[in-house]
Amino acid sequence: MSNQDKKIRKPLSRKVRNGITAALVTGLSLAILILFLIPLFYGIVTALKTDAQFSQIGAPWWPATEAQFEFEGDTYPVYLVPMEDGSIRDMALVVPGRQESQFVDIENPEEGLITWQGSWRALDRDWEFDPQWGNFREAWDTINFPRLLWNTIKYAGITTFGAVFSSALVAYGFARFRFPKKNVLFMLMLSTVILPGAVTLIPTYFVYLQLGWVGTWLPLMIPAFFGWGTNVFLIRQFIMSIPLDLDEAAMMDGASPIRIFISIILPQAVPALTAVSLFHFFWAWNDYFNPLIYLVGHPEKFPITIGLTAFNNLYSGQTNLIQAASLISAVIPVIIFFFAQRIFMQGVVITGVEK
Amino acid sequence: MTVLDAARSLKTEAKEPMTEARKKEARWGLFFLSPWMIGFLLFYLLPMIASFVFSLLRYTPAVPEDTVFIGLANWERALFVDREVLLSFTRTLHFAAISLPISLFFALFLAILLNSKNVIGKALFRTLFYMPSMIPLVATVLIWNGVLNEQTGWINIIIEQLTGIQATGTQGLRWLADPNLVYYAYTMFGLWGVGNAMIIFLAGLQGVPTELYEAAEIDGASWLTRLFRITIPMITSVIFYQLVLGVIGSLQYFLAPFVLNAGTGFPQGMTRFYMVYFYKQSFSFFNMGYGATLAWLMFIVSLILTIVLFGTAKYWVYYAAEERK
């Protein structure tokens, strides 16, 4: 009997134990996640507040305005008034007085004026939930978001095309051909990834200045068309995993390497090309230093990053608008990420872990 | 590791006479490489050499006719006269010493947590922890700037509510104005970019052979023993890669101090990092000769740091590939 009991209880208790562990570990993850995302909640909530709410003492943490009540043609502020029976009623202050004041109950205004003993100044205001969606509209217009967005898309789009196409060519060269000093060249290419950009900056700036290109998009776009270290690496890894059979068959048929690259390699490398395009697109989307240097004094050409910084400097007092503008700038990347997260994460893994 | 690998395979490069077919193949290979080779010449090699030449000049773009060759005067100034060079570099290292361990530890911790079979809804957690990495860095800095506001920011309000210690106001935690706290505040901005490192660590963890854990479990090894004796040693190569990228990246740290304070170094010069100082000299004062010197110095320092890191690698980094040979 007792033996049988043990047999039944043991697997059950293990199941329960596992369940408790799972609940604890998941709960821990959830707690960390909530802490991690607090700034985002803060940003959303703050973006929906009025300017006035920041300076008001006793204002709630959520977007709200002080309640008002219309009574006999005038508007009066609403207070939380403790009544003699212990309840708290929302009442509008009609006739304020030092010792006693006259209120009207906003739920039954037909009751007329109610006299309340005590100092109305000690009462708390009644706040009502009132999100200011118009802040997003205002931030959008003030920052001229459509223009920033168009500039950013143009910059990110053109450089992505250039960087991915040229990197695919170079990657094909590294993946499929044997030539002397290939490894030295490959190492040299990888080392450009960790080279601090500053060391080449001043002479290139000097040349662009002589060419009259400072203040235009050209210095930001042209270098992208000459291969890009991390992109080459990622695409090369992928091409090396494509079987050689098709290349060889095409070569037998007399196809040139250019032909093979266009009709065999590129179509098969689409997953890698997509990942690299996404990476590069958001790298350019985030780029701050280069536009700062080359586009200074040309606000009509600013991308989102620089536009947002300029906005922050001009409107530093208006926290709600700054939060709204920041969130607007984050919407597009976050949405694309949710749709393409698998491609993203795989790409990160290839550049980060594989050799 | 990528560079190490390439270096390792250098030795095995075959030396055989080139046939006509091989010559043709090599020509095609170099043809496909040509965009990169031209780019390397135009955007890396020549500018680097030119940068060194600039470091020997006094040059201001506004008055180009004033350009004079001044020999090593810029170098002398940077190394021995201008105290701000060493100070800004020390600040950069100080910040890196705080932010790098915290962010690497956080990434690794999240990866281990989300690799656990005990977490329900792992995929969703990964997505949500990765998501802030997609928010443009400028927006991240501005959002954190708000949430860390000493008066109205939620972080201080929450601390005050939970502990009862006065955290808000001028006597409270002035995250961005207190020289002792500002590096921790900047570290927090960085935590929102934890996504990439987390994913890379996760992939590393999934690459650890399960036989090792099974064997350890049979031997009765505890969870902690398995973590420190199996998991962490097996992913040292991934940790190493993140460390190298992190060190190089922190030397070039620029964005947050620039977005928040236009590079003034507020508070008390604490955020005038090396890259900020380089920008000031080169593009605010337009001392481009001196700027080129500072850039070259940074290049030399990051080269030394990289070599040192790679030198330490053989003592603590484990590469599974070597075992297979």
Whether residue B163 is contained in a domain is answered as no
B321 band by pLDDT with thresholds 50, 70 and 90:
low
Whether residue B289 is contained in a domain is answered as yes
| Rounded CA separation B263/A288 (Å) | 14
**What pLDDT score does B9 carry?**
52
Residues 260-279 of A with CB under 8 A from B: 261
**What pLDDT score does B170 carry?**
80
Q: What domain range is B224 assigned to?
A: 77-135+192-324
Backbone angles phi, psi at B169, to 5 degrees: 85, 180
Chain A touched by B315 (CB under 8 Å): no
Residue contact B33–A337, C-beta within 8 A: no
B11: pLDDT strictly greater than 60: no
**What pLDDT score does B5 carry?**
54
- Mean pLDDT value of segment B73-84: 94
Better-scored residue on pLDDT, B13 or B138: B138
Better-scored residue on pLDDT, B258 or A194: B258
**What pLDDT score does B320 carry?**
61
Q: Would you state the structure tokens that stand for residue A166, as one six-digit string?
A: 């040229």
Candidates B273, B218, B262, B232; CA nearest to B99 is B273
Whether residue B229 is contained in a domain is answered as yes
Q: Would you state the structure tokens that stand for residue B99, as one six-digit string?
A: 């932010």
- Mean pLDDT value of segment B295-313: 92
Q: Where are the alpha helices (DSSP H) in chain A?
A: 2-47, 51-55, 134-142, 145-176, 182-194, 198-211, 218-221, 229-240, 245-252, 257-260, 266-268, 270-286, 289-294, 304-314, 319-352
Backbone angles phi, psi at A68, to 5 degrees: -125, 155
**What pLDDT score does A2 carry?**
47
Q: Would you state the structure tokens that stand for residue A17, as one six-digit string?
A: 């134990």
Give the tens place of pLDDT for each residue, B230-255. 889 888 888 998 898 899 889 999 99
The letter for the amino acid at B324 is R
**What pLDDT score does A355 carry?**
40
Whether residue B41 is contained in a domain is answered as no
Which residue, among A17, A18, A24, A29, would best test binding to B if mutated, counting the most B CBs under 10 Å from its CB?
A29
Query: Which stretches of chain A score pLDDT less than 70?
Result: 1-12, 351-355
CB contacts of A341 in chain B (<8 Å) are 127, 130
Domain ranges of chain A: 1-47, 68-125, 143-352
Residue contact B192–A29, C-beta within 8 A: no
**What pLDDT score does A50 carry?**
84
The letter for the amino acid at B43 is F
Q: What percent of chain B has pLDDT over 90?
A: 54
B162 to each of A61, A274, B154, B155, how far by Cα in Å? Answer: 16, 47, 12, 11
Q: What SS3 state is found at B37? A: helix
B44: pLDDT strictly greater than 90: yes
Question: For chain B, what is the domain count?
Answer: 1
Backbone angles phi, psi at A109, to 5 degrees: -65, -20
Of the candidates A28, A190, A194, the beta carbon closest to that of B6 is on A190
Whether residue B279 is contained in a domain is answered as yes
Chain A touched by B318 (CB under 8 Å): no
| Rounded CA separation B137/A287 (Å) | 9
B14: pLDDT strictly greater than 60: no
Asked if CATH classification 1.10.3720.10 holds for the domain at A143-352, the reply, yes or no, is yes
pTM for the model stands at 0.86
Q: What percent of chain A has pLDDT over 90?
A: 36
| Rounded CA separation B69/B67 (Å) | 7
Candidates A36, A279, A127; CA nearest to B134 is A279
pLDDT mean across residues, chain B: 88
